[in-house]
Structure formats: structure tokens, C-alpha cells
Structure 1
Amino acid sequence: MIFSKIKKYFLQKEIQQSSKTSKRVVANNKVKNIGIVSTMELNDVYEFEQKVKKLFPKHRSVNWYLFREFHKGDEKSFHHFSDNDFNWKGKINDVSLQIFVDTPFDLLICYFDTNHVFLESLVKQSQANFKIGFSNVNQSLFDLEISERIDNIDSFHAEVEKYLQILGSIEAS
């Protein structure tokens, strides 16, 4: 319990410090590699992934990671992470999660609409070229913020498509 609070404290402090000093440079490349970060509240990951693939038909890969609370009985998954994957100073100690963070995605879709220190830390550390998320989360995280309800997936995808067409990252349909 106390270690969890220490982790959250260090992660929050790191996010705040890097928010003050970070300068984003956004590439104008076509989207090929896509990363998705969300919580277990995303009920149908497969449906969400299919909509992303439909939006980007010429993509190379879609990789995703979902946050879930740590329970000792949970099996290790290469698509889930928990607070247990961070050490007490807030650094990632899981190899597969670190590989995900170090992957230079052309687009990182951050599908969560509340402040969540572990997800925010993951997004902040990500080497993605362009990050999209919800507007009611930490504004320093994203290059493009969408103001939409989280349960309205179709509208979110329509907004993402519209703005990426304007930016020239995808072809007009």
C-alpha cells in the first residue's frame, strides 16, 4: 500500500517535471505503425482494433497495452500492464512494456479519459511521433486532443480520421 503511494508520487512528480521541459516535434509522415494505450474499461479491444485497422488500411502493425490492477493470481500478459510493472521510483521494470514504450510508433492512441498516473507516465515516456488522447486528461501529453465521451467510439474515430486527413497523415476516404 505504501509502496503504491510512493510509486504514484514519483510518477506524478516525473510527469510534472517533464511537462515543463518537453518540446514536441511532430512529424508529418503517413501513419504505418500504431500503438494503443487504454484501461481494462475498453470492453471490446478487438472491435476497437478493427476500427483502427479500417481507418488505416495500409498500416503495418497495431500494438496495444491495457492497464489493469495488479492481482497475484493474474497470469502474465504481453498486452496488459499494472502498477507492479513499475518500480518504487516509477521506472518501468517490465521488458515487454519497455519495448512498447521505446517503439517509435507513427501514432499512439491513448483511449482513457481520466487522470491515471501509470497511463500518463507510459504516454509521457513513449517514443511515438504523434499522440492522440482525450481533452480532459493532462494536456501536456497529447499532440491532438479529442473532446468526446469515452463510450462513443465511433465518434472518436471519426474525429481522429478528420484531423489526420487535415494533417495529411492519412488518405481521404
Structure 2
Amino acid sequence: MILKGFKQNSTKKHLSKLLNSRHVFLDEDKIASLGVIINIDETDDFESFRKLAEVMHVKQNKLKIIAFTSNKKEDISAWDVCFNPKDFSWNGKIKNKELQEFLDTPFDALISYYEQDVLALKVLTAASKSKFKIGVLQSDNRLNDFIIKTNLKQFDLFKNELIKYLNTFNKISNE
């Protein structure tokens, strides 16, 4: 129990370090690749993100979705990558190779679609090499560059607002 507390504190320090060292890089490039982080304990609407990618003109091979569960079950096969707290070691280091590959991918945009205050999810959002980070309202507004305040159950509202603002920012291709 004490070791778990030490591990959590070291991960919080790592998260703070990641957030403080982040440099926001905004360019005029269109969004061609999209990463999505969801908490499967909150929502399991995988197909909505595929449809959102289509509306954003992101090709399916440029879309990568990962899911988090606080359960230790590995039998969720509908997701590209499903991870749990066991995939993290001390200082928030990632033990899962596929998860590390996701974080190292320089997506044009990353959507962090979760509300629960889960340290592992925050570390993933902060550690991602994505250029533009989008999320729903969370406890730490340093995690995302653009925040849309909606309830997770209101995905259509989130999608409509996101598309509206991405068009305003000229980030969606018209192809």
C-alpha cells in the first residue's frame, strides 16, 4: 500500500514535469492524422470516433484509438489498444510497447475523450507527441490546447462544436 502511494506520487511529479515542459506548436497544416484516448469505463462508442474521422477527412489508416480501463481484464478485443494501470511503472514510465508507439506518433490532433480524474490518462495525454490536443473539460486545463465543455454522453454536440471550430481554424481539409 505504501509503495503504491510512492508510485502514484512519482507519477504525479512526472506528469507535472511533462506539462511544464510542453511547447505548444500551432501551424496552418490541415489535420491528416488523428489519435484518440478514451476511458472505456466511461464510454464505449468506438464507431463514433471513426465517423468523426471521416467528417474530418482523416483516412482510416491515419486514425489510431486507444482505450483505458481501470479493470485488469485484457479481453476487450474491439479496441486498437486497450491498456490498464499495470502498463505503467514508476515515474509514469510506459511498459506497454504498443502504447509507447502511440505516444511517440506525432499526430496532427489528439482527442482526449474522458472526464474521470485518472492519473494514467492524464500522463498519456501529456506524454503524447501530438501537435494539437483536444479534450473535454478536465481538472487540469494544461493537458489540452483546445477544450470543449460537454458531457461525454453528448458526443454529437462535441462533434458539431469540434467541426465548427476546426473549420474556423482552417484545420479541416475540403477533400
Which range, TM-score by smaller chain?
Answer: 0.7 to 0.9
Please state how far the C-alpha of 1:9 moved relative to its aligned partner.
1.7
**Cα RMSD for the two superposed structures:** 2.1
Between 1:78-87 and 1:123-132, the stretch displaced more is 78-87
Task: String of CA shifts for 1:80-100, please: whole Å, max 9, x gaps.
Answer: 011111113320011100000
2:135, 2:144 within 8 Å by CA — same for their partners in 1?
Answer: yes
Q: Which residue of 2 aligns with 1:43?
A: 44
Please state how far the C-alpha of 1:14 moved relative to its aligned partner.
1.5
Q: How does 1:83-162 map to 2 (within 5 A)?
A: 83-162=85-164
Instruction: Give distance in 1, aligned partners of 2:155 and 2:144.
Output: 18
Instruction: Give distance in 2, aligned partners of 1:74 and 1:13.
Output: 28
Q: Number of aligned residue pairs: give it.
A: 171
Between 1:158-167 and 1:50-59, the stretch displaced more is 50-59
Task: String of CA shifts for 1:100-150, please: whole Å, max 9, x gaps.
Answer: 000010110110123221011001110001100012331111110111111
1:3, 1:88 within 8 Å by CA — same for their partners in 2?
Answer: no
What SS class does the counterpart of residue 133 from structure 1 fall into?
Answer: strand
Q: Which residue of 1 aligns with 2:69?
A: 68
Identity %: 27
TM-score with structure 2 setting the length: 0.87
What SS class does the counterpart of residue 91 from structure 2 fall into?
Answer: coil
Which ranges of 4 or more aligned residues in structure 1 deviate by more than 2 Å?
A: 1-8, 17-23, 57-60, 73-78
What SS class does the counterpart of residue 54 from structure 2 fall into?
Answer: helix
Could you tell me which runs of 5 or more consecutive residues in structure 2 were left unpaired when the two chains were aligned. Answer: none
Q: Which residue of 1 aligns with 2:7?
A: 7
Q: Which residue of 1 aligns with 2:19?
A: 19
TM-score with structure 1 setting the length: 0.88
Please state how far the C-alpha of 1:66 moved relative to its aligned partner.
0.6
